[in-house]
Structure 1
């Protein structure tokens, strides 16, 4: 594993790790780690440092995955508008260019129903909505993908 990949994987695991801690882990100087992280940020390899939140602790106990079929002429506009909704955790335009895959977190089914009515069912260009709610987490991607 190259040094940059090692640094990135350590930051994925703990975004608050100090340069000194990372340096000790991989056997380089703190200054070298600081310089590499700055370069990774400047080059866009690292886009941001963020926190992983436990939604249950915030009362967001309903995790739902929606597959939304959209007329192609409306997909970009709808995707960008839905991405601004606080209920939307992640949103992807799929390769068929007429599907959105959306992950939402809401307090309960009533809040999910309200979101669906306000932002999906009443919109021009939305053709179909399929919704599945999460039963059990078996494995999740805390901190993003590993390299």
Structure 2
């Protein structure tokens, strides 16, 4: 699937505001509302748009601690990576999880209500996962940039 200029305008607009109505979106991109809706559905079916969601400020709902946690696995546990991934998925405190190449094996973004809650998470959940050898936590002091938008150049060709 090649994204044309209209597809890219739709994606740029919806990334800025996922609540944009189909009527307004059709005016922005210059095609009829039914044609716009069909394009959005096609982008969803192709997996280009994975989902729509509300972005919540964690501090406003009581999560004052945010940490980046680097995880190193023991060499003997490399065969059980799938099971370890499943454990990370099950942990409510883990809001992002990336398997990486380099000095560590995983990077987690973790939220907690306070430092004591983070301690309980570390001691009662994370350290209980078999195969984890190294845990290094870094606490986020300030969110300088948290980009969730991928600007699509209307003149550049993208294939998906």
- TM-score under structure 1 normalisation? 0.90
The Cα shift of 1:95 comes to 2.7
**Residue number in structure 2 paired with 1:138:** 144
1:7-61, Cα deviation, whole Å (9 max, x unpaired): 1121111111111111111222211110000101111111111110111111011
**Residue number in structure 2 paired with 1:67:** 70
User: Which residues in structure 2 correspond to 1:31-42 (within 5 Å)?
Assistant: 31-42=34-45
Q: Which moved more, 1:130-139 or 1:93-102?
A: 93-102
Structure 1 runs, 4 residues or longer, greater than 3 Å off: 143-147
Which of 85, 88, 94 is the equivalent residue of 1:82? 88
**CA pair 91-41 structure 1, distance change in 2 beyond 3 A:** same
**CA pair 97-84 structure 1, distance change in 2 beyond 3 A:** farther
Structure 2: distance between partners of 1:54 and 1:98: 28
Q: How many residues align?
A: 146
User: Which residues in structure 2 correspond to 1:18-33 (within 5 Å)?
Assistant: 18-33=21-36
Which of 104, 117, 127 is the equivalent residue of 2:123? 117
Structure 1: distance between partners of 2:103 and 2:52: 30
Q: Which moved more, 1:97-106 or 1:122-131?
A: 97-106
Structure 2: distance between partners of 1:127 and 1:146: 39
- TM-score under structure 2 normalisation? 0.84
The Cα shift of 1:111 comes to 0.9
Structure 2 unpaired stretches of 5+: 153-160
Q: What is the aligned-residue RMSD (CA, Å)?
A: 1.8
The Cα shift of 1:109 comes to 0.9
Structure 2: distance between partners of 1:56 and 1:113: 18
Q: Say whether residues 1:48 and 2:51 are aligned partners.
A: yes
- Where 2:7 maps in the other structure, the secondary structure is helix
Q: Which has the higher contact order (CA 8 A, sep 6+)?
A: 2
The Cα shift of 1:96 comes to 4.8
